[in-house]
Structure 1
Amino acid sequence: MSEYQYYEFRTVDRPLSEADRRVLRDLSTRARITATSFTNSYEWGDFKGDPVELMERWFDLHLYLANWGTYRLMVRLPKRLVDRRRLDGFLHSVDCVDVTTSGENLIVDILCEELEPEDYWDDESDWLEALAPLRADVLGGDLRLFYLVWLMAVEAGSIEPDEAEPLPGIGPMTGALDAFARFFRLDADLVEAAAERPAGTTAEDPLSSDVIRRSLADLPDREKTMLLARLAEGDSHVASELRPLVRDRQALQTSAARPAVAPRSAGELRAHADAIREAREREQSERREAERKRQEAEELRARRARLDAIMQRGETVWREVETEIERRNASGYDTAAGLLLDLKAIAEERGTIGDFARRLQAIRERHIRKGRFIERLKPIG
Structure 2
Amino acid sequence: MSEYQYYEFQALDQPLSREERDRLRAISTRAVITATSFTNTYNWGDLSGNPRRMLERYFDAHLYVTNWGTHRLMLRLPRQSLTLPMVKPYCLAHHVDAWATRTHLLLDLTSEDEGGDWVEDADDSLAALIGVRDELANGDLRPLYLAWLSALAAWELEDDNEDVYQSCPEPPVPAGLGELTAPQRALADFLRVDADLLTTAAQASPPRPRKSARPTKKELAPLIEALPEKEKDALLLRLALGPEPQLRTELLHRLRGTPAATAVPGRRSAAHLLDSAHTLRNERRQRAEHEQATARAQHLTTLADKAESVWQQIEAHIAAKKTAAYDQAVTLLVELRDAYAHTGRDADFHQRLTGLREDYQRRPALIHRLDRHSLR
TM-score band w.r.t. shorter chain: 0.7 to 0.9
Aligned-pair identity in percent equals: 32
Q: SS state of the match for residue 38, structure 1?
A: strand
Q: Cα gap change, 1:261/1:142 in structure 2, threshold over 3 Å: closer, same or farther? A: closer
Residues 337, 2 of structure 1: alpha-carbon distance in 2 compared, 3 angstrom cutoff = closer
Counterpart CA distance in 1 for 2:243 and 2:352 is 97
Report the equivalent of 1:276: 280
**Counterpart position of 1:27:** 27
Give per-residue Cα distances to partners, 1:2-57, cap 9 Å, x unaligned: 21111010111011233433333343343222321111111112222221232122
Are residues 246 and 173 of structure 1, via their aligned partners in 2, closer, same or farther at CA, if it must alter by over 3 Å?
farther
Distance 1:221 1:187, change over 3 A: same
SS in 1 for 2:235: helix
The separation in 2 between residues aligned to 1:340 and 1:165, in whole angstroms, is: 56
Displacement after TM superposition at 1:188 (Å): 2.0
Choose which of 288, 298, 304 in structure 2 pairs with 1:300: 304
Equivalent of 2:191, from 181, 184, 200?
A: 184
Q: What secondary structure, in the 3-state scheme, does the structure 2 residue paired with 1:100 have?
A: strand
Measure the CA separation in 1 of the matches of 2:351 and 2:258: 90
**Structure 1 segment 151-230 matched on structure 2, within 5 A:** 151-155=149-153, 156-157=155-156, 160-170=165-175, 171=177, 172-198=179-205, 205-207=211-213, 209=215, 213=220, 216=224, 218-224=226-232, 226-228=234-236, 230=238
CA distance in 2, matches of 1:243, 1:115: 44
Q: Distance between the aligned counterparts of 1:338 and 1:181, measured in 2?
A: 42
Unaligned runs of 5+ in 2: none
Aligned to 1:287: 291
* CA 1:3–1:247: 2 relative to 1, 3 Å: farther
Q: Which moved more, 1:4-13 or 1:14-23?
A: 14-23
1:77 matched to which residue of 2? 77
Deviation string, structure 1 residues 208-232 (Cα, Å, up to 9, x no partner): 7479636545433543454355446
Which residue identity does 1:205 align to in structure 2? Answer: K
2:11 aligned residue = 11
2: CA distance between counterparts of 1:249 and 1:335? 67
- Aligned AA for 1:276? L
Q: Which residue of 2 aligns with 1:251?
A: 260
Provide the aligned length of Structure 1 versus Structure 2: 353
Task: Calculate the aligned-residue CA RMSD, in Å.
Answer: 4.2
Query: TM-score w.r.t. structure 1 length?
Result: 0.74
Question: Over alpha carbons, which structure has the higher Rg?
Answer: 1
Aligned partner of 1:313 in structure 2 is none
1:238 equivalenced with 2:231 (yes/no): no
User: Is residue 130–residue 179 contact of structure 1 (8 Å, CA) maintained in 2?
Assistant: yes
CA offsets, 1:50-76, max 9 Å, x none?
212321221111111222232222111
8 Å Cα contact 1:130-1:176 kept in structure 2: yes
Which runs of structure 1 show a deviation greater than 6 angstroms over 4 or more consecutive aligned residues?
334-342, 353-360
